[in-house]
Structure 1
Amino acid sequence: MKQKRDGGVAVTGTADKQPNAQLTSWFVRSGWSKGELARQVNRRARQLGAHHVSTDTSRVRRWLDGEQPREPIPRILSELFSERFGCVVPVEDLGLRSAQQPPSGGDIDLPWAGPQTVQLINEFSRSDLMLGRRGFLGASLALSAGPALLEPMQRWLVPTAAAPRPAAAQGPGAGGGRAARLSEQELQLLESTAAMFREWDSQCGGGLRRKAVVGQLHEVTDLLQEPHPEPVARRLYRVTADLAALAGWMSYDVGLQPIAQKYLVLALHAAKEAGDRPLGAFVLSSMSRQMIHLERPDDALELIHLAQYGSRDSAGAATQSMLYALEARAYANMGQVNKCHRAVRMAEDTFCDVRAGEEPAWIDFFTEAELHAENAHSYRDLAYVAGRSPTYASLAQPEMLQAVEGFRRDDVHQRAYALNLVGMGTVQLLMRDPAQAAHYTDQAMAVAKRVRSERVNTRIRKTTHAAVRDFGDVPEVIALAERLSEELPEVAEPA
């Protein structure tokens, strides 16, 4: 056994190592050159503070030949390939060994107890505020999927014994620690602040206010570490769950996938402490959306079914309709046509029972336009799964048009407007109408300049690249590609 140096990181090599067929397969399909992969590894390493890493073409060749690098390179490669393919690519699937393998579910299999939940959110939000700007925090996390994700989340439904609270929390004069005193006005202000942040997220995207949300979340968990009467503590836990879910969603929106998942897991824990099953179901729906994005529809479906079962006696019509719509999305991505159609009908039927003012504030985003958008994306995804089927694309088209027109009149949900304009562009490509695809994508680009959302930008780029690939000689597509390169170019990392 001999030791080598991998750009300053010690690696263990053997004389009889075999070529790494798994890594080679991912590498070939990525379309990257060895030099391009080396440059991306070096850029990501600098972002993580690992300045000793200095990879080159020859080192990439050695990895493909079977050399095993030490951390942080296996995790960096996992993140790069996951982002490239839009699905979770674990270190093991690359034929690599992580020097610091966490236990299964280690980042998300957390204790279901109030004090630990508060401490974990407080510490994680503080670390995010201090280290998250350049992605360093994400280096300590790994995305979980499959049983490692689903089994810990199922414990959301398991009743837990109430943790003993300080005597002061039982009421005035009970003895013990001094109870924190929050007025009703202060509690309402905290709750309304969470609602304001949600509106900002919808208008401006996750990139503009994410740190403000994380900072507010940290402050609320500071409050929760003091003793409170039970009703006040539950309201604070509810605000904590709301803010943590929003921090997770905004992290997802800007592409920080492991950080997003951790916040959503912590939000589910806080919702359990608040005794708020519908809010917990909403958090699970956000986790499901992330799994659909990462091309894990089976996991998405399991999370939705868990949300539906856990909130079956408490969720309002809007929440139930939203869960049915996401169930349809999962079935569509699994190619389950009949089940997708049935879930779409259930979403539509249930939405008819929605009554204004009877739902919690966090579900306000689920308007009639949003329902049309979800159903349109389900049919659009079915079209892709069925080999770009024009039949399913024709079902998606009127739904997407209603979504676009609904959001056009909505000054708040600008990110959703942009996403559905892009969605309409993808539907028009499926319908073999590149001029209209370019028209809608061009409109999305105009909205994207007002919305700081990497999710929107990525979808615009993907749609434009698909249009160029299939209809590169169409004048409208040529003009769209030129505008993309001028107004929404790929962000170059510093050399």
Structure 2
Amino acid sequence: MTEPNTALGDLIDEAGMSWAGLAKRVNALGADEGEALRYDYTAVGRWVKQGQRPRGIAAHLISRALSEKLGRQVRPAEIGMETAESIASRSLNYSPNPLETLETLRDLGHAHTTGGFAAPFILAALAAPSRDWLLATFEEVGSDRGPRVIGMHQVAGIREMFSLFQEMDVMRGGGHARSALVSYMNTTVIPLIRDQHQPDVQAALYDAAAEQAYLIGWMAYDDGEHGLAQRYLIQALRLSQAAGNRVLGAHVLAGMSDQANLLGHSYEAVALARAGMRGIAPADSPACYADLGILEARALARLHDTRGCTQAIARAESNFEAVDPANEPEWARFIDRAYFYGEAAYCFRDLRQPDEVERFAEISIQECRAQGRARRGSLSQAAIAAACLQRNDIEAAAHHASTVVRLTSTVNSSRSLHAVRDLRRTLEPHSALPAVLAFDRQAFQLLGSAA
């Protein structure tokens, strides 16, 4: 940037600070963060007159220093120092302050809905959030809140919206309503939480926000935007801690494990699933615990650990049998027979045990048909197609593959599209067969329209 940063200059003037005073306060705040900064009035002059951007966390320290003086929140975007790259970096952090997490979520939502936001999946960012979550005491929601502003009935309304969006995700895919949920969270939920409420209401609001941040992350994951999904999931994990909800935190870790395994990071996926299981007991939520167990099994299957995988499946199935939907949270509603046995089928696909694939996938498919659930149905049909290929039953594989195409055409899910592409690749050597040729034509039309 070569233009003067008038936004920063105006805020410095409004705060009544000198350039030297701002530099001194930024250095002091940096020292609190373990940063040895040596800014002076000439550095501030370059920021204001030349529009230079300082490196590292300085932009956030400048915002904090101005916030102190002005008595209101000043964000880096207001001082002309926020970029998509800095948002992408900041949204990988597990902040010690849940209010900063809310600001990160708002900025993340604004960045990706206005276009031009692209962020990679960062493998190294997986370890710290799960560690910090496990070490947390879940006592962060204080008792020194101001007067009650809203009540639990408003929180219930937010949760009803979550239920509506989760239903759209389950039935139509992650790409169907994600932008609408981001808009609702940014314009309604986050501003509400930043007000002062009684402790029980504040905790419930953090809880509801964590659910929605998780769902946005899951939708992005299903839509193939893995860098964005990772960042939402990390922030959701932090909010679950602020809410004191260990079970929801374990659920977020399950999503992080699922994503890591899909992207080929199976050792990390195992660690994330096991961290979730260490954080809760089976009785806290049999559904969540069963989900963590089956995702542990999925990762072990990818690692070709047959014994470990089958043992994990058995443990997960035992926990799943104890599930009572009436006693589970709303976000766990999708952890049903369609989902659980579909995931088990994929374990055996990777272990190349086609009989077991069919046994579990058929249970999933029957449930999907009863619910009209196309995304999960497409994935379970793809598992059976893979099992048929393992038996060298090409006609049957092509038949199931055509069903995958039909179901995928009704949802907005990159995972379902990936299943179609994978089947097209594996069936290509048999393209002379009429059934395979018919599938290939259908797949070509679907993938062309999706592109």
Which interval holds the TM-score relative to the shorter structure? 0.7 to 0.9
Residue 165 (structure 2) pairs with residue 190 (structure 1): no
Residues 1:144 and 2:113 are matched in the alignment: no
**Stretch moving more, 268-277 or 106-115:** 106-115
- TM-superposed CA distance for 1:166, in Å, is 9.4
SS of the counterpart of 1:261? Answer: helix
Which one-letter code corresponds to 2:368 in the other structure? F
Change in CA separation of 1:105 and 1:210 when aligned onto 2, cut-off 3 Å: closer
Q: How far off is 1:153 after superposition?
A: 2.5
- What code does the residue aligned with 2:289 have? Q
Structure 2 counterpart of 1:176: none
Q: Cα 1:235–1:110, aligned 2, differ >3 Å: closer, same or farther?
A: same
Aligned-pair Cα RMSD in Å: 2.2
Selected match of 2:406 from 440, 446, 454:
446
Aligned: 1:473 with 2:451: no
| Offset, 1:137 | 1.2
Aligned residues: 366
Distance in 2 of aligned mates of 1:164 and 1:244: 19
After TM superposition, the structure 1 = structure 2 runs for residues 149-188 of structure 1, keeping only pairs within 5 Å, are: 149-159=126-136, 169-170=145-146, 172=147, 181-188=149-156
User: Aligned partners of 1:110, 1:487: CA distance in 2, in Å?
Assistant: 40
Letter in 2 for 1:397: E
Aligned partners of 1:362 and 1:457: how far apart in 2? Answer: 25
Query: What is the alpha-carbon distance in structure 1 between the residues aligned to residue 151 and residue 121 of structure 2?
Result: 40
User: What residue identity is the alignment partner of 2:96?
Assistant: W
Letter in 1 for 2:403: Q
- Equivalent residue number for residue 70 of structure 2: none
What is the correspondence of 1:239-254 to structure 2 with a 5 Å cutoff?
A: 239-254=208-223
Q: Which moved more, 1:192-201 or 1:304-313?
A: 304-313
Distance 1:157 1:429, change over 3 A: same
* CA offsets 1:342-401 (integer angstroms, 9 cap, x no match): 011111111221123011111111112322111111010122xxxxxxxx1222121112
SS in 1 for 2:426: helix
State the AA in 1 paired with 2:302. Answer: N
Query: What is the TM-score with the length of structure 1 in the denominator?
Result: 0.70
- Name the counterpart of 2:364: 403
Q: What is the deviation of 1:472?
A: 2.0
Q: Give the deviation of 1:442 after TM superposition.
A: 0.9
TM-score by length of 2: 0.77
1:462 counterpart residue number: 422
Residue 297, structure 1, aligned to residue 266, structure 2: yes
Match of 1:258 among 219, 227, 231: 227
Give the Cα–Cα distance (whole angstroms) in 2 for the partners of residues 440 and 246 of structure 1: 30
Secondary structure at 1:409's aligned position in 2?
helix
**Aligned ranges for residues 79-98 of structure 1 at < 5 Å?**
none
Map of 1:113 onto structure 2? 97
State the one-letter code of the partner of 1:125: G
State the match for 2:348 in structure 1.
379
For the 8 Å contact 2:282–2:319, the answer to whether it is kept is no
Which of 266, 274, 277 is 2:246 aligned to?
Answer: 277
Question: What is the match of residue 114 of structure 2?
Answer: 130
In 1, are the aligned partners of 2:141 and 2:242 still within 8 Å (CA)?
no
Structure 1: tracts of 5 or more residues without a match: 1-99, 173-178, 384-391
Structure 2 SS opposite 1:432: coil
What residue identity is the alignment partner of 1:274?
A
Find the counterpart in structure 2 of residue 175 from structure 1. Answer: none
Which segments of 5 or more consecutive residues in structure 2 lack a partner in the other structure?
1-83
Q: Distance in 1 between matches of 2:424 and 2:136?
A: 49
Alpha carbons of structure 1 residues 144 and 345: separation in structure 2 relative to 1, 3 Å: same
Q: String of CA shifts for 1:12-61, please: whole Å, max 9, x gaps.
A: xxxxxxxxxxxxxxxxxxxxxxxxxxxxxxxxxxxxxxxxxxxxxxxxxx
Give the corresponding residue for 1:427: 387
Matched, 1:488 2:417: no
CA–CA distance in 1 between the matches of 2:255 and 2:141? Answer: 31
Classify 1:277/1:486 alpha carbon distance in 2 versus 1 (closer, same or farther; 3 Å): same
User: In structure 2, do the counterparts of structure 1 residues 315 and 451 end up closer, same or farther at CA, with 3 Å as the change threshold?
Assistant: same
The one-letter amino acid paired with 1:435 is E
| C-alpha contact 2:139 2:244 (8 A) present in aligned 1 | no
Q: Counterpart of 2:321?
A: 352
Query: Which deviates the most, 230-239 or 399-408?
Result: 399-408
Tell me the percent identity. Answer: 26
Secondary structure, aligned partner of 2:448:
coil
Residues 141-195 of structure 1, C-alpha deviations (whole Å, 9 max, x = no match): 331214x42133210122369668695x24x4xxxxxx5x223332211111101
Q: 1:105 to 1:430 in 2, by over 3 A?
A: farther
Map of 1:30 onto structure 2: none
Decide whether the 8 Å contact of 1:325 with 1:375 is kept in 2: yes
Q: How does 1:58-69 map to 2 (within 5 A)?
A: none
**In structure 2, what residue type is equivalent to 1:117?**
T
Aligned partner of 2:23 in structure 1 is none
CA distance in 1 between counterparts of 2:107 and 2:165 reads 21
Residues 91 and 235 in structure 2, CA contact (< 8 A), matched pair in contact too? no
Q: Matched residues in 2 for 1:165 and 1:358: separation?
A: 28
Change in 2 beyond 3 A, CA 1:161/1:420: closer
2:284 counterpart SS class: coil
How big is the shift at 1:128?
2.3
User: How far apart, in 1, do the equivalents of 2:141 and 2:394 lie?
Assistant: 63
CA contact (8 A) 1:284 1:303 kept: yes
* Contact 2:338/2:368 (<8 A) preserved: yes
Q: Is the 8 A contact 1:278 1:314 kept in 2?
A: no
How far is 1:299 from its partner?
A: 0.5
- Partner of 1:200 in structure 2? 168
**CA 1:192–1:263: 2 relative to 1, 3 Å:** same
Q: Deviations over 1:328-351 (max 9, x none)?
A: 111111111111110111111112
CA-CA distance at 1:490 after TM superposition: 6.4
TM superposition shift of 1:478: 1.0
Q: Structure 2: how far apart are the matches of 1:115 and 1:162?
A: 15
